[in-house]
Amino acid sequence: MSNAVNNFSELSAQKSFTLASYLSSLISTIGGALTLNDIAILMGIFLAMLTFAINWFYQARRDHREKILLQAQLGALPSKNTTIDKNMTKQKENAA
């Protein structure tokens, strides 16, 4: 049983070292291919797009909440023209 555990831990360690090796190679390649200004520009573009997406998401949530609030407020208001409302209700009943 302990032999299986040792094999598993060795396998996970090998996978971790392999992943670390690939990531460090990727970072070295990017670092060699791009200058500091290029990296700063790419980070700026990425952060601008991330900010846009987050603002869009929260603005959509805010609009949805405001729409629900407006509907609740309009539903709670008493009608000022009850005679018009009654006539419209009669017209709908006659049409049906």
* pLDDT tens series, the chain, 96 aa: 456 556 667 777 788 888 889 888 888 887 788 888 988 999 999 999 999 999 999 999 999 999 998 888 888 766 665 555 566 666 667 766
Whether this model's pTM surpasses 0.75: no
* Domain count of the fold of the chain: 2
Rg, Å, the chain Cα set: 32
Question: What is the maximum span of the chain, computed from C-alpha positions, in angstroms?
Answer: 88
Return d(Cα 77, Cα 64) in angstroms, integer. 20
22 and 61 assigned to the same domain: no
22 and 55 assigned to the same domain: no
Question: Is the residue at 53 inside a domain?
Answer: yes
Range of the domain at 63: 45-96
Q: Is the CB of residue 12 less than 8 Å from the CB of residue 19?
A: no
52 and 12 assigned to the same domain: no
49 and 96 assigned to the same domain: yes
Question: Is the residue at 40 inside a domain?
Answer: no
Position 40: which residue type?
A
Question: Is the residue at 15 inside a domain?
Answer: yes
**Any alpha helices (H) in the chain, and if so which ranges?**
2-33, 36-76, 82-95
Question: Is the residue at 39 inside a domain?
Answer: no
